[in-house]
Amino acid sequence: MDPLQKNMINKFKKNNISNNAIRHAKLFQVNLFSNLWNGISVTTKILSQLFQFHLILETPSLESTLCSNTIR
């Protein structure tokens, strides 16, 4: 193999390695943002459920409203 062919093969290998590294980095970035988005979505759902539960606890029931009105 002559030096020119060797040089071209080495350039191709280096280029291929850097392309693979870039591709893996992009996939990692996409996965990271996807996981982050899913985490935000789940957290929002949990907070929404907790807030709804809090509103249920804070809302006086009909019985307690009637009792407090008759006591006054």
pLDDT in tens, 24-60: 888 888 888 889 999 999 999 998 888 887 777 766 6
State mean pLDDT over 57-72. 61
Query: pTM of whole model > 0.75?
Result: no
Q: In terms of residue numbers, what domain contains 27?
A: 3-71
Per-residue CA distances from 28 to 23, 35, 39, 42 (Å) = 9, 10, 16, 21
State residue 68's pLDDT score. 59
- Per the structure, the count of domains in the chain is 1
**How far is 24 from 27, CA to CA, in rounded Å?**
5
Q: What is the DSSP string of 44-60?
A: HHHHHHHHHHHHHHHSP
Per-residue CA distances from 56 to 2, 52, 53, 61 (Å) = 81, 6, 5, 9
